[in-house]
Amino acid sequence: MFKKKTWLAVLAALALVVLAACGGEESGDSDDTEKEEAPSSITLGSASQGGTYYIYAGGLASIFDEKLDVPTNVEVTGGPVHNMQMVQSGDLTMGLATLGPAYEGYTGEGEWTNGEKLDDVRIAFPMYTTPIIWWSPEGSGIESIEDVKGQRIGVGPSGGTSGTYLPIIHEALELDTDDVQAGASDMTSQMLDGQLDVIGFAAGTPIAAVTELEAQRDLNIFSLTEEQREQVFDMYPYFTEHTVSADAYDSLDEDLETIAMFNYGIVNKSMNSDFVYEMVKTYHESQEELMNTHSAAKEAVEEAILINEEVPLHKGAIKYYEEQGIDLPDSVYPPEYDEE
């Protein structure tokens, strides 16, 4: 009798151990799914060298290295389109993107998405406005957008804002251009070598490639006509009006009216929420340092997060902006917001 009771007790104890183990494993899986560990390092997707993204990303890397104690490596990419794709896939920890590719990628509406929704991407923080401008060497005979008709024109890398949208804009405006997709530095070299007479590019002001060229020759800087700008706004509502100040470039005698998109830092929705909160907080507290890296950072104010009303924010970012008293629209709260 004693042996039988002892054996039954052993069996009961084993059953409890097994049940506890199963329950613990189930709970652990759930926690792992909801709370990823903070990254031990960051791979930050920028764009081509010579553009504002590359410079801005360098400033971000220095701040995250120093203040978050997280080693941050800046990766040269094709730009916003590629960054959206690689943040979605996890090949980048973080990326920079303009609102157009962010919206088209998240919804899967952009032709470049082939219908695939990059819906794991979340916006973390606002950056600055990216206007599109066109320029040519003085004496080239190209002084306005009408002179671009039939020309061979550099438009930036294929995964960038300008490389993605300029060919579409040129076609819609029936400019019949021969669009060359290349990085900002490559296009600058081609123009200096006389291989390229006109460049169209989207980047924060001032664009390093333009100021580099201006130091060596006089330029014609121009944009779309008012009627053409209205055509673009009708096609792509995420483009906005923007004025490039006359003092932005030596080659400008007066303010230049053009089209633009706003930029954001993006992460995957799985990134640890506490880390994103600290990152966004550090980002805004370091605005003056970023302005020393590039003057476009003067637009990186907390209220600029409200420019986006379509692409969801990361939960950690939402926590920060709510604490700052910013009334976020319901549309930027992600599906997973109420799950934690």
Its CATH class, for the domain covering 42-128+263-338, is alpha beta
Whether pLDDT at 27 is above 80: no
CA distances for 185 relative to 156, 210, 211, 260, 329, angstroms: 10, 10, 12, 21, 39
Provide long-range contacts, Cβ within 8 A and 24+ apart, for 67-71.
67/282, 67/286, 68/278, 68/279, 68/282, 70/38, 70/39, 70/40, 70/41, 70/42, 71/40, 71/41, 71/42
pLDDT of residue 11: 36
| 8 Å CB contact between 324 and 334 | no
Q: Which residues contact 190 (CB under 8 A, 6 or more apart)?
A: 154, 180, 182, 196
Do 65 and 72 touch, CB atoms closer than 8 A? Answer: yes
pTM to 2 decimal places: 0.81
131-261 domain in CATH 3.40.190.10? yes
Q: In the prediction, which pLDDT does 10 show?
A: 39
Average pLDDT over residues 45-69: 94
Residue 12 has pLDDT above 70, yes or no: no
Q: Is the pLDDT of residue 233 over 70?
A: yes
Distance separating alpha carbons of residues 329 and 324, to the nearest angstrom: 15
Query: Strand, coil or helix: what is 50?
Result: coil
Residues 6+ apart with CB under 8 A from 276: 124, 267, 314, 315, 316, 317
Q: What is the mean pLDDT of the chain?
A: 89
Amino acid at 324: Q
Confidence of residue 8 (pLDDT cuts 50, 70, 90): very low
Q: What are 1's two structure tokens? A: 């009798």
What percent of the chain has pLDDT above 90?
81
Q: Is the pLDDT of residue 232 over 90?
A: yes
pLDDT tens digit sequence for 68-101: 999 999 999 999 999 999 999 999 999 999 999 9
Tokens of 59: 């400033």
The phi and psi torsions of 156 (rounded to 5 degrees) equal 95, 175
118-147 tens-digit pLDDT: 999 999 999 999 999 999 999 999 999 999
| Residue 35 confidence (pLDDT) above 90 | no
The per-type count for the chain, helices as H runs and strands as E runs, is 11, 10
For residue 160 the two structure tokens come to 């960038």
Average pLDDT over residues 282-296: 96
22, pLDDT greater than 50: no
156 close to 184: Cβ distance less than 8 angstroms: yes
Please count the residues of the chain.
340
Give the mean model confidence (pLDDT) for residues 143-163. Answer: 93
Q: How confident is the model at residue 49 (pLDDT cuts 50, 70, 90)?
A: confident
- Over residues 201-206, the mean pLDDT reads 92
- 242 pLDDT more than 80: yes
For the chain, residues classed under CATH 3.40.190.10 are 42-128+263-338, 131-261
Average pLDDT over residues 186-208: 93
**Structure tokens that stand for 265 in this block:** 């830092």
pLDDT score recorded for residue 17: 36
pLDDT (0 to 100) of residue 340: 52
> pLDDT band at 339, cuts 50/70/90?
low
